[in-house]
Chain A
Amino acid sequence: MTTGRIFDLQRFSVHDGPGIRTTVFLKGCPLRCRWCQNPEGLERDISLWHFQNLCGRSGHCETVCPTKAITLAPTGVEINHAACTLCGDCIEACPRNALAMDGRDITTDEVVAEVSKDSIFHDVSGGGVTFSGGEPLAQAAFVRDTAAALKTRGLPTTLESSFHAPWSSIEPLLPLIDLFIVDLKVADPAAHRVATGVSNELILANLRRLDEALRGTGRILVRVPLVPRYTATTENLRAIAGLIADINPLLPVELMNFNPLASAKYRRMGMAHEFADVATSYSPAEMAQFQLLFAERGLAVR
């Protein structure tokens, strides 16, 4: 039995592949995209979190903590993460569920059991299961075993990934994953490193190999996140369109509009976020302009 680490398991997901899906968000990511929407998925390690808006200041957490890692301060509950052993006593003791771990370990069988609860909805919608994250390929063995178990039950699977992973972790998934969603962010390798912490060479090589392996099957979707300053520039998008057209002009492309909502999440988690000043998504007119850059290269884009 394989165990994986997730930060969420979402029923009724409707934007991560066809139909109604159950999305498994795997915890831990080798990239550090400056715009990351799910910062709780970055670290592989599990942390204890406190939700100020739910806190009733009972002080039970401080009382029960065996390592004195929690302090009820005038401004809120302070957690000394270095001292926290993740025993969970404080979570149990909190009457308002204001404390929680930001992830949990789960077995393949447990994922299958959870997914099966919505089998009727998967069935009627042509939906299934999506592995997302974080970076699902960072837990490739878990994804492989879970996808295999789902496959034997006839459930369609989708993988949504940066594809920054060794090909050896991707290849075993070829017969197990029905739809590969590949994120392409920045065309220039150096700029990619600035934006995400890694170069894009491995990602592009993987896309090329994936396309060779699956050409003509319609099992690949390229997604481009639109991020002010980093990805949503005419120059970058034109270059990405060129890269895709060069690999295979028949690859479908989907542009993901910028989502300004993550900045509040960063604030709540006490993390800096450089997009705090951007409050809006791109307008339909701007989106059309961006799409045109791909259409000009003969790509099917939406």
Chain B
Amino acid sequence: MTLVVRPFSEQVAASAQTQPTPRISALKERMLDEPRFLSIEQALIITDVYQAHEGESAAVKRALSLAEAMRRIEIHVDPDELIVGNRTTGVRAGVVFPEAGISWIDRELDAMSTRPQDKFNVRPEDAATFRERILPYWQGKTLEDTLRAEDGPLLDAITRVVKINQKDHAQGHICPDTAKWIRLGPAGIRAEAAAQAATATPDQREFYNSVLIVLDAAMDFMRRYADLASEMATAADSPERAANLRETARICTKLSLGGAETFHEAVQALWFLFALLHLESNASSFSPGRADQYLYPYYRGDIEAGRLDRAGALELVEALWLKFNQIVYLRNSHSASFFAGFPIGFNVALGGRDEAGRDESNDLSFLFLEAQGHILLPQPNLSARLHEHTPDALLDECTRVVGLGSGMPQVFNDESIIPALEAQGIAPADAVNYAIVGCVELTTHGNTLGWSDAAMFNLVKALELAMNDGKCLITGAQLGPKTGYLTDFAAFEDLEKAFAVQINYFFEKMIDACEKVEEIHQRLLPSALLSSVIDDCLDRGMDVTRGGAHYNLSGIQVIQVANVADSLAAVKKLVFDDGTVDKARLVAALQTNYQTDEELRQILLNKAPKYGNDVVWVDEIGNKWVHYFAGLFEGRTNYRGGRYHTGLYTVSAHVPMGANVGATPDGRQAQAPLADGGMSAVYGRDRHGPTALLASVARVDSYLGSNGTLLNMKFLPRLFKSVEGAKAFSSMLRGFVRLRINHVQFNVVTREDLIAAQKDPDKYRNLTIRVAGYTAYFTELAEDLQNEIIARTSYEDS
């Protein structure tokens, strides 16, 4: 990921040690200096087209409005750019897409520049135009409004337990067949679609028609860049810039007519695809996937022909990396708190193995890591696929780049993920070619609509209801069935039964809600361009939202293993097994948020074992309830006819989801965040080092995380500064592969993190530091010792 939930500016500050070429450095600086604005340009185009074609179907209106945007939207080229294209002239604009949602923008428009997370500047004239021309037309017609009108009560009834996603924006979270797009270009794919259209049934005709409309326009879009670059070349202020612009014009012209042949052309083709997919849909996470694999033939061809050297290739990769940082995605403020800091999800995978277990990494895998080490920006979301035979050199390079502190690459495990995907009915050839979308969501390459972020199910809230007769501890409202209070239960098993009843109740409603959301997406947001690059949409003549993809999955996240395991372990041990905590005392404390019984909270925190410490019975509680939840999907299919499966990640949602949950028996106070990540232990409760944490995580069966899992670990930069430390880290990654854990990502903490740890020790209790002949937990050290470490760390870091 990096789901590093840190402001962009901080990440930029961390990038001071980069050494890209002067061109890349200059482009990066210019990009970071640009303010971020709300953009209504495309919304006006879409509105015009919809108004002019009222009688047409949604598919045709969507295609026509995308085509019009490709032909009309203002474009921009920086004379130094090697890779061109964006959906707005400014970078990182918040683009308004009226089809998906408009009411929330109206509500939030005035606070857009001051909201706590993901701010955008709004030009007053844009705000006025929005309210005069855009809002009145779209009210009641959008995905958001339709869903609210048709299914509002259902969504409201479950909102504290189940967060249904994709309610006011398009789905995204998809890995297109970029290799095909590079090879054929829009022209080649258009020819294919035209041939299929010739034999189409009446049902399919509209789909093919819309595909032809958008691909024709895509060619025009590229030509417009060629024209602009040519024009700029004639007026360029230096021969170098003129040459660069002429080359840009040549490449754009060529790509408008067919496929790419060189590495530069292939990288430009890749970026055009992703810019265009974002022009089609305001969505998160269109992911390039295994770019080191499909770009490699172009790279190798150029190197062998002497057209390109390694340094030139690196600069092109870095140019692409910059482009990945130029598109962000406008979320409502609630969503922004769940997915804070623009996780747009240009997820690039590197490395990995084939079906026979042979390593598939290549020179580009290394170039990608090197580029990341230089750029150190939030995108791409760089993901390393490790396996039993990952070469030491690649592993050590991953370690080096992780040690630079950008939180990347995050690490995925072929040895657990490939079998997990096969268990979901994915063919071995597709499973072995898996990629990652968004943050950590798993997908096949180019033929899956995974709908991986369908919903998040808050098991911790269901457990709260199970202890409190179905009533919300925060509001007192009766949310779930009346299953009794903890004081009514004679045995621990009675609590487990009540927990299952609460889960079942919300589960059924969640399924209903997921189907409604998908149905409205089909009705309102058909996506012709995306369908043209997802197999088998063209063969089936079916839009991707209707189920045209080869695989149609839906991913539901189970939230949150650590809090469930810790809470149930504390109740089991202290209340039912040892009898040292009285049931009535616990219920009273939970109902009053420990306000008059801090001592009980401390007992729950300190006298019961916690997930993350390699304590088998505690970890197994977590595994048991994920199993239970996943089992409920058996025999069910989603709205597109594919399978539901489960994931274990929260992105930044552990904070807002925690805000929905009252006090819990793991010692967590009401509305405090849940454990982060998905697989992580509760902040600071893992006290026996990284290997013990990994052992606990490995006890949650990895196939239950076939939609993706997320484990966060923190290390001090110092570990990476000694040879032994770096080697140990690489070895730990090998151990991670052996333990069959799906995913891990690393925060390499800095002096600032240590200061934060000092101020808020509870959150950082698992931060370890080498003191002398032993390692200690930073927050357990006395303040003066902490100060010394902080002073010393900054010395070592300088």
Is B732 interfacial (CB-CB < 8 Å)? yes
| Known A-B contacts A120-B738, A124-B738; A11 and B691 likewise in contact (beta carbons under 8 Å) | yes
The reply to whether A261 and B771 contact each other, CB–CB distance below 8 Å, is: yes
Taking the nearest CB of chain A, how far is it from the CB of B617, in angstroms? 15
Is B792 interfacial (CB-CB < 8 Å)? yes
User: Size class of B's contact patch?
Assistant: 35 or more
A121's partner among B606, B691, B770, B774 (CB-CB below 8 A) is: B691
B695 closest partner in A (C-beta): A117
In the complex, chain A residues 42-60 whose Cβ is within 8 Å of any chain B Cβ: 51, 53-54, 56, 58
A260 / chain B contacts, CB cutoff of 8 Å: 788, 792
B155 / chain A contacts, CB cutoff of 8 Å: none
| Known A-B contacts A11-B691, A259-B771, A264-B781; A20 and B728 likewise in contact (beta carbons under 8 Å) | yes
Taking the nearest CB of chain A, how far is it from the CB of B315, in angstroms? 33
The reply to whether A37 and B772 contact each other, CB–CB distance below 8 Å, is: yes
Is A15 interfacial (CB-CB < 8 Å)? yes
Q: State in angstroms the CA–CA spacing of A7 and B597 once bound together.
A: 34
B481 / chain A contacts, CB cutoff of 8 Å: none
Which residue of B603, B606, B772 has the most chain A CB atoms within 10 A of its CB atom? B772
The reply to whether A23 and B774 contact each other, CB–CB distance below 8 Å, is: yes
The reply to whether B603 and A95 contact each other, CB–CB distance below 8 Å, is: yes
The reply to whether A264 and B785 contact each other, CB–CB distance below 8 Å, is: yes
In the complex, chain B residues 616-637 whose Cβ is within 8 Å of any chain A Cβ: none
Taking the nearest CB of chain B, how far is it from the CB of A42, in angstroms? 13
Interface string of A89-104 (1 = CB under 8 A from B): 0000001110000000
| Known A-B contacts A117-B691, A125-B734; A38 and B773 likewise in contact (beta carbons under 8 Å) | yes
A149 / chain B contacts, CB cutoff of 8 Å: none
Is A14 interfacial (CB-CB < 8 Å)? yes
In the complex, chain B residues 671-699 whose Cβ is within 8 Å of any chain A Cβ: 688-692, 695
B782 / chain A contacts, CB cutoff of 8 Å: 53, 264-265, 267-268
B606's partner among A23, A96, A123 (CB-CB below 8 A) is: A96
A264 / chain B contacts, CB cutoff of 8 Å: 781-782, 784-785, 788
A62 / chain B contacts, CB cutoff of 8 Å: none
Q: State in angstroms the CA–CA spacing of A15 and B780 once bound together.
A: 21
The reply to whether A121 and B771 contact each other, CB–CB distance below 8 Å, is: no
User: Size class of A's contact patch?
Assistant: 35 or more
Q: State in angstroms the CA–CA spacing of A62 and B727 once bound together.
A: 48
The reply to whether A268 and B785 contact each other, CB–CB distance below 8 Å, is: yes
The reply to whether A96 and B724 contact each other, CB–CB distance below 8 Å, is: no
Is A281 interfacial (CB-CB < 8 Å)? yes
A15's partner among B607, B732, B770, B785 (CB-CB below 8 A) is: B770
A262 closest partner in B (C-beta): B772
The reply to whether A53 and B783 contact each other, CB–CB distance below 8 Å, is: yes
The reply to whether B689 and A96 contact each other, CB–CB distance below 8 Å, is: no
Is A10 interfacial (CB-CB < 8 Å)? yes
Q: State in angstroms the CA–CA spacing of A178 and B588 once bound together.
A: 58
| Known A-B contacts A14-B728, A279-B791, A280-B792; A124 and B734 likewise in contact (beta carbons under 8 Å) | yes
Is A19 interfacial (CB-CB < 8 Å)? yes
The reply to whether A16 and B773 contact each other, CB–CB distance below 8 Å, is: yes
Interface string of A259-291 (1 = CB under 8 A from B): 111111101100000000001110000000000
Q: State in angstroms the CA–CA spacing of A25 and B795 once bound together.
A: 29
Taking the nearest CB of chain A, how far is it from the CB of B726, in angstroms? 9
B734 closest partner in A (C-beta): A124
Interface string of A26-44 (1 = CB under 8 A from B): 0000000000011000000
The reply to whether B695 and A265 contact each other, CB–CB distance below 8 Å, is: no
The reply to whether A120 and B739 contact each other, CB–CB distance below 8 Å, is: yes
Is A118 interfacial (CB-CB < 8 Å)? yes
The reply to whether B773 and A95 contact each other, CB–CB distance below 8 Å, is: no
- Known pairs A14-B728, A117-B691, A125-B735; list 5 more (Cβ under 8 Å): A11-B692, A15-B724, A118-B691, A120-B739, A261-B771
Between A and B, 26 residue pairs with Cβ closer than 8 Å are: A10-B689, A10-B774, A11-B691, A12-B689, A12-B732, A14-B727, A15-B725, A15-B770, A19-B731, A58-B599, A97-B606, A118-B695, A120-B735, A121-B731, A123-B738, A124-B734, A125-B727, A125-B734, A125-B735, A127-B728, A160-B773, A261-B792, A264-B788, A265-B771, A265-B772, A268-B782
User: Which A residues lie at the B interface, using CB under 8 A?
Assistant: 8, 10-16, 19-20, 23, 25, 37-38, 51, 53-54, 56, 58, 95-97, 117-118, 120-121, 123-127, 132, 160, 259-265, 267-268, 279-281
